[in-house]
Chain A
Amino acid sequence: MTGRLGILISTAVLALGLTACGASSFDIPIQTPIRAKLDVAGFQRVLVAGFVSGGGSDIDPNEETVRLLRSQLRLKSKLKVVEADALPLAAITRQQTAAAAPAGASKDVKTSEAPTSLPVKIKNAQELAQYDRVFANTSYWKQLGEEYQDPLIVTGTILFTPQNQSGFVQREQEVYNSLGERSVVPIRTFMERKGFVLRPKFIFIDGRTGATLYSETFREEVLYDTGQDTPALSSYFELMDRIMPSFLNTLSSQKIRGTRVLLK
């Protein structure tokens, strides 16, 4: 009883003391401006052209990414977003590759350094990498740029793959002792988990010249308990959400709101 009274008195004295001295810390809202990574002053339009995509999930990462990036750019960028169908870039690359192959060239992907045919179903990063040649085809991008009045072209590759991972994870568990008192203890349990990995590579191409201006690659993953049935599309948006600030910051300055503490 005396102890509790003592604590109460000390708290009251401390509170009075703080009031007398005035507060020594103050929360303040701030807006952090982040400068754009790419100078897009020379462009009036942006064309999110399409992506070479794969990974074996039941969504079409090309269509979804084109739609998502366009809607975000409409909201957050000063550039006019060109409306056009998403390019089937994988098919275009295969056509270009076949057309460039000399007559009678081997179609064996494994033995040829520059394969004359490309895997139609892209399952992993190695297969996706074979499509990189399309981004070096400046005449193709220049021609596309001419068609859409010299925009900044956004393209690249997207790999969205399901993954299963099992192993030990630490989680907290409620326990009660013989007196019925509750406590929480960390326990290690073996868990089967499943989820998705998203690996987008964004390539920014100058539509006036066809040359690549800038590119960046990301990797994000999410894992759920096996009992949790999260649709692929939800996971895709969850992972893209994490990447979006950095993508947008490539083209336009961003202001990120936050709170900081000022001290006396």
Chain B
Amino acid sequence: MLVAGSTAAFANARGDARAQVAFGIKAAQDGLWDEAMFRWNKAVKLDPTYAAAYNDLAVAYEHQGMPDKAREAYEKAIRLDPGNDQIRQNYEMFKEINDRTTRHPH
């Protein structure tokens, strides 16, 4: 009974989080990155195991010039879904830009 209840709660949380993620994607496509970031932040609060939401949040942080937060979100997304090549590819591109512009051997 308890297990069934918690499974249902998880399904609800994932469902709500998915709706937030979808809305965020639409907002980002319209150039409304603040709104998108708000939605994806909400999604990861609703479902902290939702790798795609962390990935999208990382992209938003990157676009908004917050590299530390972007790195943290990408790493969280990869920890949650290590086999996801799209997340890894995003992260590699983020690192490439970040390393190139902050390359400073001194």
Partner-B contacts on A (CB < 8 A): 25-26, 28, 30-35, 37, 215-219, 245-246, 249, 254, 256, 258, 260-264
Contacts and interface: CB of A to CB of B under 8 A. Distances in A.
Contacts of B89: 261
A95 to B, nearest CB: 28
B65 A35 contact: yes
16 contacts: A28-B28, A28-B29, A32-B65, A34-B97, A216-B105, A216-B106, A218-B103, A246-B101, A246-B104, A254-B101, A260-B62, A262-B25, A263-B56, A263-B86, A264-B25, A264-B52
B63 A263 contact: no
Interface of B: 18, 21-22, 25, 28-29, 51-52, 55-56, 59, 62-65, 84, 86-87, 89-90, 93-94, 97, 100-106
A35 B98 CA distance: 11
DSSP class of A's interface residues: helix, strand, loop or mixed?
strand
A261 B101 CA distance: 22
Contact of B97 (A35, A218, A258): A258
A8 B32 CA distance: 41
Contacts of A217: 105-106
Contact of A249 (B28, B101, B105): B101
B29 A31 contact: no
Given A30-B59, A245-B101, A260 B52 contact: no
Contacts of A262: 25, 28, 55-56, 59
A52 B104 CA distance: 20
Contacts of B55: 261-263
Given A261-B89, A262-B59, A256 B97 contact: yes
A33 B63 CA distance: 7
A117 B21 CA distance: 68
A218 B97 CA distance: 16
Given A34-B102, A262-B55, A263-B86, 6 more contacts: A28-B59, A32-B63, A33-B64, A34-B101, A261-B86, A263-B55
A26 B25 CA distance: 8
Contacts of A31: 63
A21 to B, nearest CB: 12
A32 B101 CA distance: 11
Nearest to A256: B97
Contacts of B65: 32-35
Contact of B106 (A26, A28, A215, A254): A215
B20 to A, nearest CB: 11
A246 B28 contact: no
Given A246-B101, A264-B18, A30 B25 contact: no
A32 B86 CA distance: 18
Nearest to B58: A260
Contact of B86 (A25, A215, A246, A256): A25
A25 B85 CA distance: 12
Nearest to B100: A245
A152 B4 CA distance: 68
B83 to A, nearest CB: 13
B19 to A, nearest CB: 10
A261 B55 CA distance: 8
A219 to B, nearest CB: 8
